[in-house]
Amino acid sequence: MTSKLARFLLATVLVLPFAGFAQTAGADPALPAAPSATPVAPDASAASATGVRVGTINIEQAIFASNEGQRDFDGLGKKLEPKQTELKNMNDEVEGLKKQLTTQGDKLNEDARATLVKQIEEKQKKLERSVQDARDEAQSQQNEIAQKILQKMAPIIVKYAGDKGFGLIMDTSNPWPQGPVLWAGPSVDITKAVVDTYNAQSGVAPPARPLTSKPVGTGTGAKPATPTKPATTAAPPK
């Protein structure tokens, strides 16, 4: 368990629950709030749109595919590298002591063996606490980045939906049955259009290299991050 915790630290701590983001333009009360995060109020003309079409957007993908998202999350990953190294070293120490107990345990007297076992238990508990603290801190920082981007992206989503005659936009970040959308064709997906518009308005240049990881879940059972690329959905409806 300890080995996995340290080995997959970066993938584990860089997690972001997006369910709340899909439903509101502000911070989900269940998540750590950004210091200055406030709900977004769409402009009146967009809010009064009378479109009847139903569209979809992958909020998680939109945030991570944006130039600003790739830049900021890549920066956060670099910032976490020293902590990852520190925890790996702690884990290596624990594993070394376990190996010592396995190979030499039967040769130690009762007191020496008890001392070694206690040392392993203490260091393992310290490692697990450190991993949890690192995960909590990193998740808070990642939530703050995502909230900051979504604060600026929400009005773009609302305006685009109004301009194109959509009366409802649903989030597809979580696949059904965790998410609300059972199936939707690419013709109603506005993710790429929103990302392109956001990138143009943000003025942030594309990163020199694409972000190579994204959140994959929450909890200690999170798996290693998998590569991700900017949204490649079909062109938005005209």
Question: pLDDT band at residue 107, thresholds of 50, 70 and 90?
Answer: confident
> Which is nearest to 26 in space by CA: 14, 15, 10, 37?
37
- Residue pLDDT, tens place only, 148-158: 999 999 999 99
pLDDT for res 196: 97
Q: At what angle do helices 191-202 and 110-163 cross, to 10 degrees?
A: 90
> Could you tell me where the beta strands, DSSP code E, fall in the chain?
53-57, 166-171
Percent pLDDT > 70 in the chain is 66
Question: pLDDT band at residue 106, thresholds of 50, 70 and 90?
Answer: confident
pLDDT for res 2: 39
pLDDT for res 236: 42
Rounded Cα distance, 149 and 52, in Å: 27
Give me the residue label for tokens 């972000």. Answer: 211
pLDDT for res 54: 93
| Higher-pLDDT residue of 146, 44 | 146
pLDDT for res 212: 53
Percent pLDDT > 90 in the chain is 56
Rounded Cα distance, 73 and 71, in Å: 6
